[in-house]
């Protein structure tokens, strides 16, 4: 941004007094009130905003976070050759216009003058070239905030012969942008915006449906002509702790912040699609580029996350360009990336884990290789991964993880068991609880939620919050499991204990796989894996979890 300097003398288009500027803001509100649709509101309000800012031209753009670019919705005023009032495909990528990332990330106005010396603070060569192409002398870029986040950009210019914009104009321009945002909010339907920004509401990235559509189309091209398709799956570490310690608003802010980091990394490969799958899980879809490009993006994601998040991320990569076997569906590519990401999370890897590159063959990867897509049917990745998680593979995979994971105590080893089994059966989450020696109170010491059910959020249910205590006298079934047993409880079981059913109903779960037992000092432990409608069937895995819990309790160092 340029250094601040005095405002120029009264400009023929710029309101030259406080009352005039307030009147100009009121004019934007009146323009919005007369609109019959979002497009009309936007056009009339933009015209009023251009007059308020004394601009030769004005553009309103929407941020497309999933593609790390801004898309121009309209241009108004004295336009340059080639500029259209209603552009069809006028976009500006962050990789080519770095100032956009500053506007987006920090919400600050940006000023540029075409004759600004290259050595001066805030000089942006790409923006100067844009001004020269537009035949303008200065510009001002201001974020438009809508519904609590940066929605888009207000971009205004002046001719070379006119007094240039300076940083002193920034505060008033923010007020104009705020009034323009209010005008947008008054539109009866944001239909055009919805079409252009088909995004996750919280983060502005592509939502799950957009990701699925893109992957399905990309894999169809892969099957036809061998186009390389890569998928990066990322989990934000420590989100649970942020929600518990600082509240869910802080957790939402962390997710929105990471969305910006993810989008900036995805922009390294033009055409990539960054999305939020749900909860703390994100992804990037890359098509038509070598697998190494996806690894490059994943490494950049991890690097940015280490610098911008307290606990970083766990990142897995899978690509049809790597030796992972045939990939005939989006579901299989997701399973491969999930397996790599799960390994990264369990091993606390600082960088991405890449499927097919020097890794021990994990159960989930082998299952992906052996699972054929039923002819004529679209298969959800989670159902396939869960349904094929048979006891031998689960046992082998988790035992290998226990052998190599840096888990130095009973609780850590049981967390590994819960996390690994939950992911292999695509559970909704897992819980680890402990009853101290001689105590009849069971206390939850750790839990992790992978997705929310239709019920209230599990951490608010009162049953699963960290530190919650339960009188085992009221849960005789659980008490029996703590003595060294295992069980599968389903809501469809007519004989299910009423207290256990209340726990399942509170979380909106369809069943729970549990196993427990005492450790070497006499404390009793319980591992629970909760499932919902899209998880695997749990019946065959009861003895498997019991065996794994026994191994975790009796091997390795003590508590």
DSSP 341-373: HHHHHHHT-SS-EETTSS----HHHHHHHHPPP
The residues near 169 (Cβ < 8 Å, ≥ 6 apart) are 7, 53, 109, 111, 140
Burial call 38-59: b when 16+ CB within 10 Å, e when fewer: beebbbbbbbbbbbbbbbbbbb
Same fold for the pair 18-196 and 397-554: yes
pLDDT score, position 400: 66
Tokens 């216009």 sit at which residue?
97
pLDDT score, position 373: 39
Structure tokens at 487: 């069980």
Per the DSSP assignment, residues forming a β-bridge with 45 are none
What radius of gyration, in Å, describes the C-alpha atoms of the chain?
A: 28
Give, for all 559 residues of the chain, the pLDDT tens digit: 333 333 333 344 555 556 667 777 777 777 666 545 667 778 888 888 898 899 999 999 988 877 888 899 999 999 998 889 988 788 888 888 877 777 776 677 888 899 888 888 778 888 899 999 999 999 999 998 876 778 889 999 999 999 999 888 888 888 888 888 877 776 544 444 444 446 777 888 888 878 888 898 999 999 999 999 999 999 998 888 888 888 888 888 889 889 989 988 998 898 899 999 888 899 999 999 999 999 999 999 999 998 888 888 999 999 999 887 778 888 888 888 887 887 787 667 888 988 877 543 344 444 444 443 333 333 333 333 333 445 555 666 667 666 655 456 888 888 888 887 887 777 777 889 999 998 989 988 887 765 555 444 444 344 445 557 888 888 888 888 998 888 888 888 887 878 888 878 777 788 888 999 998 888 999 999 988 766 667 767 778 888 888 888 876 554 4
pLDDT score, position 382: 35
Report the relative pairing of strands 441-449 and 524-531 from DSSP bridges: unpaired
The domain made up of 18-196 is a member of CATH 3.30.450.40: yes
CA quadruple 167, 172, 175, 177: dihedral, nearest 10: -60
The span from the first CA to the last CA of the chain, in angstroms, equals 56
CATH architecture of 397-554: 2-Layer Sandwich (3.30)
pLDDT score, position 485: 84
pLDDT score, position 491: 83
Q: Where are the domains of the chain?
A: 18-196, 208-383, 397-554
pLDDT score, position 230: 96
Distance in angstroms (rounded) separating the CA atoms of residues 401 and 532: 25
Superfamily for 208-383?
A: Reverse transcriptase/Diguanylate cyclase domain (3.30.70.270)
């Amino acid at each position: 941004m340029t250094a601040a300097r005095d405002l120029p003398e009264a400009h023929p288009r710029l309101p030259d007094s406080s009352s005039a500027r307030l009147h100009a803001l009121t004019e934007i509100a009146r323009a919005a009130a007369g609109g019959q649709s979002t497009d009309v509101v936007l056009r009339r309000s933009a015209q009023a905003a251009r007059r308020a800012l004394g601009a030769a031209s004005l553009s309103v753009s929407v941020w497309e976070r999933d593609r790390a670019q801004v898309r121009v919705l309209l241009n108004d005023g004295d336009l340059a050759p080639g500029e259209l009032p209603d552009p069809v495909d006028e976009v500006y990528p962050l990789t080519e216009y770095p100032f956009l990332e500053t506007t987006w990330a920090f919400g600050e106005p940006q000023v540029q003058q075409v004759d600004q010396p290259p050595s001066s603070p805030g000089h942006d060569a790409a923006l100067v070239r844009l001004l020269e192409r537009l035949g303008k002398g200065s510009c001002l870029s201001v974020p438009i905030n809508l519904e609590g986040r940066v929605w888009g950009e207000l971009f205004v210019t002046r001719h070379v012969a006119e007094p240039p914009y300076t940083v002193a104009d920034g505060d008033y321009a923010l007020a104009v942008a705020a009034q323009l945002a209010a005008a947008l909010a008054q539109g009866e339907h944001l239909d055009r915006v919805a079409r252009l920004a088909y995004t996750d509401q919280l983060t502005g990235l592509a939502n799950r449906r957009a990701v699925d559509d893109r992957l399905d189309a990309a894999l169809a091209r892969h099957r036809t002509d061998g186009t390389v398709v890569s998928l990066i799956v990322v989990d934000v570490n420590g989100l649970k702790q942020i929600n518990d310690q600082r509240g869910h608003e802080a957790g939402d802010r962390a997710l929105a912040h990471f969305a910006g980091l993810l989008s900036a990394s995805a922009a390294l490969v033009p055409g990539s699609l960054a999305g939020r799958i749900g909860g703390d899980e994100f992804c990037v879809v890359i098509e038509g580029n070598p697998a190494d490009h996806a690894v490059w993006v994943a490494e950049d994601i991890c690097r940015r996350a280490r610098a911008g998040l307290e606990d970083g991320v766990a990142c897995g990569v899978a690509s049809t360009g790597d030796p992972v076997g045939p990939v005939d569906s989006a579901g299989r590519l997701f399973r491969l990336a999930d397996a790599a990401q799960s390994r990264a999370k369990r091993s606390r890897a600082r960088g991405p884990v890449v499927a097919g590159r020097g890794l021990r063959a994990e159960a989930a990867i082998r299952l992906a290789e052996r699972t054929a897509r039923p002819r004529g049917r679209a298969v959800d990745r989670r159902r396939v991964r869960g349904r094929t998680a048979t006891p031998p593979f689960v046992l082998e995979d988790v035992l290998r993880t226990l052998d190599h994971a840096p888990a130095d105590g009973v609780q850590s080893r049981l967390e590994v068991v819960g996390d690994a089994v939950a992911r292999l059966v695509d559970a909704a989450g897992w819980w680890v609880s402990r009853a101290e020696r001689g105590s009849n109170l069971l206390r939850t010491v750790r839990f992790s939620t992978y997705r929310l059910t239709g019920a209230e959020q599990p951490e608010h249910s009162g049953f699963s919050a960290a530190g919650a205590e339960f009188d085992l006298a009221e849960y005789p079934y659980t008490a029996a499991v703590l003595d060294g047993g295992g069980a599968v409880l389903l809501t469809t079981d007519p004989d299910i204990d009423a207290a256990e059913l209340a726990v399942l109903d509170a979380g909106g779960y369809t069943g729970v796989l549990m196993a427990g037992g005492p450790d070497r000092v006499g404390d009793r432990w319980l591992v629970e894996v909760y499932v919902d409608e899209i998880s695997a069937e749990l019946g065959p895995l009861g003895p498997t979890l019991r065996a794994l819990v026994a191994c975790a309790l009796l091997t390795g160092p003590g508590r």
